[in-house]
Structure 1
Amino acid sequence: MGTSSGNSSMTTKFQSYGSEEDLQLLMDQRKRKRKQSNCESAKRCRLKKQKHLDDLIAQVDKLRKENTEILTRVNIITHHYHKVEAENFILSAQIGELSQRLQSLNDILELMSTTNGVYEMDNCYVTGATDYNFMNPMNMFYLNQPIMASADMFHS
């Protein structure tokens, strides 16, 4: 039997305890134990790998669910943002309109205080405070127009 130097020293060691058949039997038994141990180790490795894969799949499912929830919230918030932005635009326009009206009223008041209640309209003089409500000093009809704000704009 051709053996290497490591096996030959082992062979001589075991020869003192028994025959070559006993030695072969012992080697086969060790080989089987090692093979069984390798099989069990491989099985543990496969189980560990499968558990890791299952954990990753569960994590992917969880993250997909969270992503869907976040996208839903983003869509809701975006919708609310656009709604508030539109309301803000309307309110800004109303501020401009009301500022113009206030300025016109202030101009009328200033004119009233400087002319002592006498107004010239198309070369006619009107005295008193009864006839100026429908016209401003520039002959523009808008003082009796309703303000465009409505209460339902301020509710969500």
Structure 2
Amino acid sequence: MLSNRESARRSRMRKQQRLDDLMNLAAQLKHQNSQIDAQINLATQQYITVESENAILRAQLQELAERLHSVNSVLRMVEEVSGMAMDIPEIPIPLLKPWQLPSTSQPIMANAEIFQF
């Protein structure tokens, strides 16, 4: 009977130790989860900032391409009227069709290395 009591006591101690270990592990995982969540939020904010800057640059690029097109049109008219040959550069195709970047509806592929600061 004494042996059974001792065995039951050891069993309760093992269960308590296992419960304590699991609670510590849960606390560590919650902490890691909150750190990863903060890193994701930071990366998302950086992405939004860069995407906003890119939108501004795309608009400026379009405006400059339109200006260049207008200036080239004026130069062509001057060339026709004056009869003078002018060196009128063509608008580079990339300016007319800037990069097709992924939109927000497309998934963004990432790996864990981007979160290493």
Please tell me whether residue 80 in structure 1 is matched to residue 46 in structure 2.
Answer: yes
Q: CA deviation at 1:117?
A: 6.7
Larger Rg, first or second structure (1 or 2):
1
Q: Return the TM-score normalized by structure 1.
A: 0.51
Which runs of 5 or more residues in structure 2 are unaligned?
85-117
Counterpart of 1:46 in structure 2: which amino acid? R
Bigger RCO (CA 8 Å, 6+ sep)? 2
User: Alignment partner for residue 94 of structure 1, among 60, 82, 93?
Assistant: 60
How far apart are residue 87 of structure 1 and its match? 0.3
State the TM-score, normalizing by the size of structure 2.
0.67
Match of 1:46 among 5, 9, 12: 12
What is the total number of aligned residue pairs between the two structures?
84
1:63 and 2:25 equivalent?
no
Cα RMSD (Å):
1.5
Unaligned runs of 5+ residues in structure 1 are 1-34, 119-156
Over 2 Å off, 4+ runs: none
Cα deviation, residue 101, structure 1: 0.5
Structure 2 Cα separation of the partners of residues 51 and 99 of structure 1: 71
The one-letter amino acid paired with 1:113 is E
Which structure has the highest strand share of the two?
1
The equivalent residue for 2:70 is 104
User: Which residue in the other structure is 1:123 paired with?
Assistant: none
Whether 2:82 is the aligned partner of 1:116: answer: yes
Give the secondary structure class of the aligned counterpart of 1:97: helix
Q: Distance in 1 between matches of 2:71 and 2:6?
A: 95
Q: Distance in 1 between matches of 2:48 and 2:22?
A: 38
